[in-house]
Chains A and B, each alone.
Chain A
Amino acid sequence: GAGVSQSPSNKVTEKGKDVELRCDPISGHTALYWYRQSLGQGLEFLIYFQGNSAPDKSGLPSDRFSAERTGGSVSTLTIQRTQQEDSAVYLCASSLAVTSESDEQYFGPGTRLTVT
């Protein structure tokens, strides 16, 4: 079946512009996660959704970052007034359910964001 998809795969933007990143989770997966991976680094947890709800937004790096999910499916991560330090690969993952025994996460291919 289809895996997690993300778009765009690459995004180059000028400093100060807003960007919107999209994630389509695996059908039927109620939990959705956003991570950021800077070059050669590990993953930084940003936010997760259970259904359309994001119980904890404290992982978002600044108030320029926001995320939403509609219809329990597609999610968008929006970065306003982008800065060069926002350059990274943004990974989305989904899992069957927050309370499932394994809650194994399946990752999308990522969006590589470059802020010039």
Chain B
Amino acid sequence: ELKVEQNPLFLSMQEGKNYTIYCNYSTTSDRLYWYRQDPGKSLESLFVLLSNGAVKQEGRLMASLDTKARLSTLHITAAVHDLSATYFCAVPSRYNNNDMRFGAGTRLTVKP
């Protein structure tokens, strides 16, 4: 069964600092998605990573995918308060692309 694990689950960081969130998954997949969720809100798509070695950047966030290691990273550069949210990674099941398994989420708090 596909398992998706994120770490850390909680992250408190100072503005201006850098940090990385990790997403590991247990079975083969060539795609991975990152979402952001603000408190009380729905999920917003951040990145779609479609192949091994894929790297995408948007503002202070950069996501990468290593399908051989079954690992994706979400790197935060020079964090700002507006980045405070919960970040989820999601991986489609190998046997059913539409069965998307989500990590538990990383709750990020950026402090002034």
Please list the residues of chain A having a beta carbon within 8 angstroms of any beta carbon in chain B: 31, 33, 35, 41-43, 45, 48, 50, 56, 59, 91, 93, 98, 101-110
- What bracket does the count of chain B residues touching chain A fall in? 20 to 34
Please list the residues of chain B having a beta carbon within 8 angstroms of any beta carbon in chain A: 31, 33, 35, 41-45, 48, 50, 88, 90, 92, 96-105
On whether the beta carbons of A50 and B103 are closer than 8 Å, the reply is no
Since A41-B104, A101-B50, A107-B43 are in contact, a sample of 8 more A-B pairs with Cβ atoms closer than 8 Å, ordered by chain A residue number, is A42-B103, A48-B98, A59-B99, A103-B92, A104-B48, A108-B42, A109-B41, A109-B42
| CB of B20 to closest CB in A, whole Å | 19
Show 22 A/B contacts (Cβ-Cβ < 8 Å), sorted by A: A33-B98, A35-B102, A41-B104, A42-B102, A43-B88, A43-B90, A45-B99, A45-B100, A48-B98, A56-B96, A91-B42, A91-B43, A102-B31, A102-B48, A103-B98, A104-B33, A104-B45, A105-B33, A105-B45, A107-B42, A107-B44, A110-B42
User: Residue of A at shortest CB range from B41?
Assistant: A109
User: Residue of B at shortest CB range from A110?
Assistant: B42
Q: Report the 7 A-B pairs with minimum CB-CB distance, sorted nearest first.
A: A43-B102, A48-B98, A107-B43, A42-B104, A107-B42, A42-B102, A109-B42
In the bound assembly, the distance between CA atoms of A106 and B46 in angstroms comes to 11
User: Residue of B at shortest CB range from A93?
Assistant: B43
On whether the beta carbons of A98 and B105 are closer than 8 Å, the reply is no
| CB of B8 to closest CB in A, whole Å | 14
In the bound assembly, the distance between CA atoms of A43 and B97 in angstroms comes to 16
On whether the beta carbons of B50 and A45 are closer than 8 Å, the reply is no
| CB of B47 to closest CB in A, whole Å | 10
